Amino acid sequence: MAAPQVDLSVQLAGLTLANPVLVASGTFGYGTEYGELVDVGRLGGLCTKAVTLHPRAGNPPPRICETSAGMLNAIGLQNPGVEVFISEKMPALRELGVPIIVNIAGESVADYVALAQRLSDCADIAALELNLSCPNVKRGGMQFGIDDELTERVVAAVREVTRLPLIAKLSPNVTDIVGIAEAARDGGADALSLINTLLAMSIDIDRRQPMLANVTGGLSGPAIRPVAVRMVWEVTQAVDLPIIGMGGITSAADALQFIMAGATAVAVGTANFVEPDVAGRIINDLEDFCQQAGVARVADLIGAAHSSSGTEGLQ
Amino acid sequence: MAAPQVDLSVQLAGLTLANPVLVASGTFGYGTEYGELVDVGRLGGLCTKAVTLHPRAGNPPPRICETSAGMLNAIGLQNPGVEVFISEKMPALRELGVPIIVNIAGESVADYVALAQRLSDCADIAALELNLSCPNVKRGGMQFGIDDELTERVVAAVREVTRLPLIAKLSPNVTDIVGIAEAARDGGADALSLINTLLAMSIDIDRRQPMLANVTGGLSGPAIRPVAVRMVWEVTQAVDLPIIGMGGITSAADALQFIMAGATAVAVGTANFVEPDVAGRIINDLEDFCQQAGVARVADLIGAAHSSSGTEGLQ
Amino acid sequence: MALLDEAPSMYAQTIQLIQREQVGPDYHLLKFDCPQVAAAAQPGQFVHIRVAAKWDPLLRRPFSVLRTNEAEGSFQVLMRTVGRGTQMLAEAQPSTEFDIMGPLGNGFALPGPEGEAILVAGGIGVAPLIFLATVLHEPESYRYARGLFGARSADDLCCWLEFSGVCDEFTAVTQDGSAAEQGLVTDFLAPQLERGAGCVYACGPALMLAEVARQCQGAEIPCYASMEQRMGCGVGACLGCVIPTRASGAQRYQRVCKDGPVFDAQIVDWEAIRCGCTPG
Amino acid sequence: MALLDEAPSMYAQTIQLIQREQVGPDYHLLKFDCPQVAAAAQPGQFVHIRVAAKWDPLLRRPFSVLRTNEAEGSFQVLMRTVGRGTQMLAEAQPSTEFDIMGPLGNGFALPGPEGEAILVAGGIGVAPLIFLATVLHEPESYRYARGLFGARSADDLCCWLEFSGVCDEFTAVTQDGSAAEQGLVTDFLAPQLERGAGCVYACGPALMLAEVARQCQGAEIPCYASMEQRMGCGVGACLGCVIPTRASGAQRYQRVCKDGPVFDAQIVDWEAIRCGCTPG
Ligand SMILES: Cc1cc2nc3c(=O)[nH]c(=O)nc-3n(C[C@H](O)[C@H](O)[C@H](O)COP(=O)(O)OP(=O)(O)OC[C@H]3O[C@@H](n4cnc5c(N)ncnc54)[C@H](O)[C@@H]3O)c2cc1C
Ligand SMILES: Cc1cc2nc3c(=O)[nH]c(=O)nc-3n(C[C@H](O)[C@H](O)[C@H](O)COP(=O)(O)OP(=O)(O)OC[C@H]3O[C@@H](n4cnc5c(N)ncnc54)[C@H](O)[C@@H]3O)c2cc1C
Ligand SMILES: Cc1cc2nc3c(=O)[nH]c(=O)nc-3n(C[C@H](O)[C@H](O)[C@H](O)COP(=O)(O)O)c2cc1C
Ligand SMILES: Cc1cc2nc3c(=O)[nH]c(=O)nc-3n(C[C@H](O)[C@H](O)[C@H](O)COP(=O)(O)O)c2cc1C
Ligand code: FES
Ligand code: FES
């Protein structure tokens, strides 16, 4: 008996992705760093490292350190700026043949608007991901993503100047993720990325100083997965926008948690550092899972865990 | 050469603790469950499972599940209520000969006040820990700890009715932990406990439903340590109250991260489940560390990582 | 010692795996060197094993004691490989050291002198019942024991020879008919109950236990069920492992690790359990 | 392939540890079976090893290639045990499989035909310099090589015989005087520089490298330093492993894994590095 064909494609913000597995911003460079170790063409999509209006040197080292089932980073948005990005990085990205989602970060609403305008002129960009949530820069970054008015304002301003699909990437470092997600929707976002890193730190007890020169950094990796799944779950219930779920994904089982919690697609971040072709493995295993479970379209699993209700307790 | 004596004692909210290592609320029952596996008398102190005004059945099972370097719990404050606590649990707790910190939880300000009043009449309670941060109950719990006005109000109301030292236990599920800490201080707290669990969830992909009957639960264990250290660090800089640091402590090295970040004492939680005598091991290793580092009093290490400033970056 | 919440003697120590034997596609017999548990463990009690020396996987894993050998100072568990922790144990080399806590839990109440015992095992639930049957088989604690053992397929009828060897009567059942009788083990219980019995002991999947309990209640024969739940501490401190019960009418949650794992089937709230509070 | 960010050939694969030899209290020589790295690796390049098959410890660990054996299809690393990952490797049994990526990084630029080479190693930094000296020792790429090797104590002068064996001249130094000359390796560099040299190669602690760079600048002799930094991806994607440089005047951060690990000492911002941006 030939295994039935599984339809892995998903629709997201007007895009059709061949499969729901992307690589997350900042963890896959500009698409070529892993060389031949990864068959990039198989990815559902690629989110670039954040691009800013002007070049940025980033934070001083040490910028990363390992923690239990996770890592901290405080890269500080090192990037060559949007002009160099367009002239030197986009040509290679274009050749990869997968949807390119450009992650943009600004210090002000005007920065985001200028970036969106500039990138709207550039061919072959599938969508913009507004990084409202970088915990590692002094100005801008997370400051937007923790305030619902600012979130709505920046998304709305960008919405006015571009026809590209807009994905708002939210910070988990908030009391009420649903409120922020609603603000992004009200501003006109077509989709949400959940979650960026958790603000965290580690101390080198021998040197009696923080492990990172930046003192704090963003926690990513398997450690944060349960927080991310919870946020996807909560937002799915309240906001009718497709979600790209991420945070600690290392396997198809992890990816399925996000999809069943309500994510339309997922992004693999930190795991790329450990296993460069992890996304390819996940795509294969997702297909196998669907085949074995008799699921014809992976899209049928989106939000699947919401249907059953919790057990009633005593009292 | 005889190793020099290390002074492990610390002062916290008017109490002198023989050493800075406590066991965290909800992870050590009422002090007797581990039987002879633990020499409870060596602990710096013991925080009881949360006590409520009336008995509570708690949440339906499954209540826990394992995650990467962590676990979720949604116990839902199962406890026999304050009267049974006083008549049946306090006698044994009293015998342990260590400071007993009673963790209290309410659904309203009036509940907290009534609990504090009742427990103030009971001998041999060293302090009250106000659980403003339980993520696993529908009413009360975290609702207090994510709102600074409510935090201040409940702490102030309890302050009026008791002379016991008051420790406010804060929720990490907030945008601005410093604001909440300031509110607790303004309400009259003598110390802060940081942190309770992170709101999180896991999905059973085979059953396509949440792993916990309660859907969401609190994430604890090594996974959350970097978030906890960061919060202790931030609060230390802004609020002049002693802090009991907790979240993922499994070793003296972990405990020292909290102490160097600014905590006066630490509490071991989830690790007790894996290694019942982990607190005893940490106390021994803390002493060794101090000896080897030539530190005469562990209290000298409180906040030690704040003195050195971060490296200056480019731009 | 009355203060210690009636803690029976339990030990936490680092012990050696001394023998590992594969006894089915997914099953291993593990033998550990541990005189304390060997001397103290009662049928139905369990050990809580830390599968990794480090903090990943984080939590301990509970396993019933299958048998003890006091002379040798060893005990065994029968383990089914289902996930990460059991996989690690299945691959452990003899002489590897593990941290264990045990024996934990209450164990089976031995039957009164009257009547025969019926032991109903489902799948891996056979482990504590083999221990119980072994004790009932000994001259000083002898009771006539009838064993019923059901499993999905022949592969899962693991250790059935060991089980039948210590029962006076024995019936095996597979769901797919790949060995012995075909059907559910509970299909074969009614005739046993009709013959009368002093007590029924059961261990297996929750739905099987619920059905055994229902039939026993109908037949008015006491029934003890050994329950499973995901565990944290294993000693009653975390309240993580509860099941719903209705002891003396009032509904409440009781701890599998401390108030169980063996429960009087009459007090278990089987309705609530059918709604899905068992580990997955 | 010009699109690939000038990626040199690198491989990711699962390979076997074929030999493990303890060569000092904290040091091990590890030999892996891997024809690709054996054929491709250049002195100064490194491999990025996943120490656990699971996700804990999470990140890979970088190690310089010590030597390759193309005929056998193997390569070696010299490893100092410092923390969790190296501890796990130090305990790994031959035939254990590891995921590796490599060879990574740029490697040392070979010296021009003029002048002798000075190789300055500090502690475990000797590893890539042994590889370099081995290549300089081969007839087809021969250069006269003077080796300087400093370490804390005799125990840390690990593999000094291997190093001296491939150098034409050799000086060893320990800080505590427990073997060879007493002092810092940099105390013995000045006379070497005075004799003139075509190029200096250095690997070791950051402060040692800073001092070597300072002296070489004074002597106007080119110097290449192999740098360390905590690494994420190992291939230039995460920007986690940077050090401060001032190439053509402008200050910026460059990646140790991709733009290095070998840097022209002139462009490294040693001032900033002295302030403490090296791994701890
Ligand atoms: C009192 C008791 C006695 C048991 N006796 C045996 C025995 O004799 N032989 C045997 O093979 N198994 C027994 N089990 C089940 C055994 O504990 C689980 O199969 C095992 O914990 C699975 O671990 P894992 O890492 O392979 O699975 P994973 O699914 O990776 O485990 C994840 C988490 O869920 C928990 N978990 C998963 N399945 C179960 C389960 N069925 N019951 C409780 N917790 C679970 C694990 O302990 C762990 O915390 C017993 C369980 C209990 C509660
Ligand atoms: C290019 C390069 C080449 C190296 N070559 C060798 C070699 O040939 N032999 C050798 O013994 N060591 C070498 N090192 C250092 C080696 O990578 C570390 O000692 C090792 O990663 C420590 O891992 P751990 O788990 O034992 O320590 P832990 O302290 O537990 O590691 C925690 C984290 O910090 C990182 N880390 C710790 N120390 C260092 C360090 N000195 N440099 C970079 N990252 C570090 C680890 O990779 C890990 O991510 C090299 C480092 C680099 C960057
Ligand atoms: C080294 C590193 C750099 C990152 N840079 C960015 C970035 O530039 N823009 C962004 O939106 N997110 C960035 N992130 C966040 C990731 O895209 C992702 O949201 C987060 O790491 C959680 O996923 P993970 O746990 O799978 O890594 C970065 C993460 C890491 C680890
Ligand atoms: C099973 C369990 C039950 C808990 N119950 C309580 C509680 O009743 N009151 C409370 O304030 N905190 C409770 N906590 C939170 C812990 O006291 C602690 O703040 C948290 O687990 C973080 O520490 P850890 O990572 O060391 O476990 C509980 C934690 C766990 C795991
Ligand atoms: S496992 Fe902790 S109470 Fe049972
Ligand atoms: S380790 Fe990722 S850029 Fe160097």
Ligand nearest to the CA of A77: 3
- Same domain for D116 and D222, yes or no, is yes
Listed residues D211, D228, D245: the one ending a domain: D228
Q: Is B47 a catalytic residue?
A: no
- Same domain for C118 and C220, yes or no, is yes
Q: For residue D97, what is the enclosing H or E element?
A: strand D97-104
Average pLDDT, chain B: 93
CB spacing of B68 vs D244 below 8 angstroms: no
Q: How confident is the model at residue D2 (pLDDT cuts 50, 70, 90)?
A: very low
- Same domain for C93 and C136, yes or no, is no
The answer to whether residue D170 scores a pLDDT higher than 50 is: yes
* Active-site hit among A47, A65, A134, A290: A134
* Span C28-80, pLDDT tens digits: 999 999 999 999 999 999 999 998 878 889 999 999 999 999 999 999 999 99
CA distance, residue C57 to nearest chain D CA (Å): 9
Ligand 3 pocket, residues with Cβ under 6 angstroms = A 24-27, 49-50, 73, 75, 77, 103, 131, 134, 169, 196-197, 220-221, 224, 246-249, 268-271; D 232, 238, 240
φ, ψ for residue A79 (rounded to 5)? -165, 160
CA distance, residue C59 to nearest chain D CA (Å): 15
Residue of D104, D106, D235, D259 to mutate, ligand 6, most atoms within 8 A of C-beta = D235
* Span D177-218, pLDDT tens digits: 998 999 999 999 999 999 999 999 999 999 999 999 999 999
- Say if D139 is an interface residue toward chain B (CB within 8 Å): no
* Spans of chain B below 50 pLDDT: 309-315
Bridge partners, C174 (sequence order): C151, C182
Residue D248 lies in a domain: no
The three-class DSSP label of residue A290 is helix
Note the pLDDT of residue D41: 94
Ligand nearest to the CA of B58: 4
User: Using an 8 Å Cβ cutoff, are D227 and D234 in contact?
Assistant: no
CA distance, residue A246 to nearest chain C CA (Å): 22
CB spacing of C56 vs A312 below 8 angstroms: no
Q: Which residues of C touch D56 (CB under 8 A)?
A: 54-56
Bridge partners, C76 (sequence order): C31, C67
- Same domain for D131 and D215, yes or no, is yes
Question: Looking at domain B10-308, which CATH architecture does it have?
Answer: Alpha-Beta Barrel (3.20)
- For chain C, the domain total comes to 2
CB spacing of C50 vs B34 below 8 angstroms: no
Note the pLDDT of residue C5: 40
Neighbours of chain D (3+ CB pairs under 8 A): A, B, C
| Full-model pTM | 0.93
- Same domain for C94 and C171, yes or no, is no
Burial of residue C169 (number of CB atoms within 10 Å: 0-12, 13-18, 19+): middle
φ, ψ for residue C190 (rounded to 5)? -55, -50
Boundaries of domain holding C203: 109-228
What percent of chain B is predicted at pLDDT more than 90? 90
Mean pLDDT along residues A297-308: 92
Enumerate the H helices of chain D as residue ranges. Answer: 35-40, 84-91, 126-137, 160-165, 189-194, 206-219, 270-274
Q: Where do the domains of chain A lie?
A: 10-308
- Structure-block tokens of residue D278: 């090296």
Q: Which residues of D touch A63 (CB under 8 A)?
A: 230, 239-242
**CATH for C144:** 3.40.50.80
CA atoms within a 13 Å half-sphere pointing along the CA-CB vector of A31: 27
Ligand nearest to the CA of A282: 3
The answer to whether residue C165 scores a pLDDT higher than 80 is: yes
The answer to whether residue D280 scores a pLDDT higher than 60 is: no
Residue D265 lies in a domain: no
Interface of D with A in 100-129 (CB under 8 A): 101
- Same domain for C138 and C94, yes or no, is no
Of D56, D229, D240, which is closest to A69 when you measure between CB atoms?
Answer: D56
Number of C-beta neighbours around residue C1 at 10 A: 8
Kindly give the number of the ligand 4 atom that is closest to the alpha carbon of B133: 11
What distance in Å separates the CA atoms of residue A152 and residue B261, rounded to the nearest whole number? Answer: 35
- Structure-block tokens of residue A188: 């006109």
Residue of A196, A244, A257 to mutate, ligand 3, most atoms within 8 A of C-beta = A196
What distance in Å separates the CA atoms of residue D3 and residue B258, rounded to the nearest whole number? Answer: 47
- Protein residue whose Cα sits closest to atom 52 of ligand 2: D228
Note the pLDDT of residue D114: 79
User: Using an 8 Å Cβ cutoff, are C122 and C128 in contact?
Assistant: no
What distance in Å separates the CA atoms of residue A312 and residue A292, rounded to the nearest whole number? Answer: 31
Q: Which residues of B touch D277 (CB under 8 A)?
A: 311
Furthest CA-CA distance within chain D = 53
- First CA to last CA across chain C, in angstroms? 37
What distance in Å separates the CA atoms of residue D189 and residue D121, rounded to the nearest whole number? Answer: 11
Kindly give the number of the ligand 2 atom that is closest to the alpha carbon of D241: 53
Kindly give the number of the ligand 4 atom that is closest to the alpha carbon of B47: 17
CB spacing of B68 vs D276 below 8 angstroms: no
- Same domain for D123 and D202, yes or no, is yes
* Span C89-114, pLDDT tens digits: 999 999 999 999 999 999 998 887 77
Average pLDDT, chain A: 93
**CATH for D27:** 2.40.30.10
Residue D243 lies in a domain: no
User: Using an 8 Å Cβ cutoff, are D133 and D119 in contact?
Assistant: yes
Q: What does each C-alpha distance from B122 to B16, B88, B127 come to in angstroms? A: 20, 13, 11
Residue C71 lies in a domain: yes
CB spacing of B64 vs C241 below 8 angstroms: yes
Q: Which residues of C touch A312 (CB under 8 A)?
A: 275
Give the neighbor-by-neighbor strand order of the sheet with A64-67.
A64-67, A70-73, A217-220, A198-200
CB spacing of B76 vs A233 below 8 angstroms: no
The answer to whether residue A100 scores a pLDDT higher than 80 is: yes
Chain B residue with CA closest to D252: the answer is: B314
Distance C98 CA to ligand 4 centre (A): 26
What distance in Å separates the CA atoms of residue C14 and residue C22, rounded to the nearest whole number? Answer: 23
- Structure-block tokens of residue B145: 């700890």
Residue D68 lies in a domain: yes
According to DSSP, residue A211 is labeled S
- What is the value of ipTM here, to two decimals? 0.92
Mean pLDDT along residues D66-89: 95
What distance in Å separates the CA atoms of residue C170 and residue D22, rounded to the nearest whole number? Answer: 57
Asked which of A33-37, A157-161, C39-43 is least confident by mean pLDDT, the reply is A33-37
The answer to whether residue A310 scores a pLDDT higher than 70 is: no
* CA nearest neighbour of C63 among C90, C39, C36: C90
- Same domain for C81 and C95, yes or no, is yes
Q: Which residues of C touch B204 (CB under 8 A)?
A: 280
According to DSSP, residue A307 is labeled S
Bridge partners, D138 (sequence order): none
